Amino acid sequence: MENKWQLEIESVSNGYIIKGQSTDLDRVNVVEVIIKPETEEGDLEAMQELLYKIKEYFGVYHSKHNKKNLEINIVENKEKR
């Protein structure tokens, strides 16, 4: 039987709540809370952490041995002159 995974993400005023469940034999429930830092980039940092958690949950990891890796970066836009 194929493993099925479910992930629920709730946006709250100060970040995100992640609820995950595996329907394989051990039926693991996972709950993560991401708190948005009170900084200028807080929204971006919280979203970046959320995306990292999603990658990890579904088994997508960075490895120096992979030909390609998925990166999640915050980049600064160049100012228009």
Q: Is residue 81 part of a domain?
A: no
32: confidence class by pLDDT, cuts 50, 70, 90:
confident
pLDDT at 47 over 90: yes
Our count of domains for the chain comes to 1
Identify which has the larger pLDDT, 16 or 29: 16
Residue 8 inside a domain? The answer is yes
Domain annotation covers residue 36: yes
Q: What's the domain range around 17?
A: 1-76
Q: According to the model, what pLDDT value does residue 23 have?
A: 57
pLDDT for residue 56 is more than 80: yes
Is 15 part of any domain? Answer: yes
> Distance (Å, rounded) from C-alpha 64 to C-alpha 53?
19
Evaluate whether residue 48 is within a structural domain.
Answer: yes
Mean pLDDT in residue range 3-26: 78
